[in-house]
Amino acid sequence: MSVTVIATLHSQPGQRASLLALLEPLRQASLQEPGCLQYMPNLDPADADCVVMVEAWQDQPSLESHTVSAHFRHFCVQAEPLLACLEIRQLQPY
């Protein structure tokens, strides 16, 4: 069963551009992973410090492989000082 992930990243004030710069290489690498169907950052026009990632994965094992990948772990380490808050929601189709 496919899995959709909505990750809402709130950057520290004024740090969204820096966060987006880190997200681009992560996006490129993630799109090359088996089972990655979509990996798209979206800007929130009402919140200058917010990025909403919409991800679609073929199945749960694909998502789990992503979360332990070197490029994802590297992003997490680099992004930590830029983030004020991170909310991750995992959804399944009805």
Torsion of CA 56, 10, 49, 31, to 10 degrees: -30
**Domain range spanning residue 12?**
3-91
- pLDDT value of residue 93: 86
Q: Which of 50, 32, 22, 52 is nearest to 40 (CA)?
A: 52
pLDDT means per 10 residues, the chain with 94 residues, are: 97 97 98 98 96 98 98 97 97 88
The CATH number of the domain holding residue 35 is 3.30.70.100
Amino acid at site 60: Q
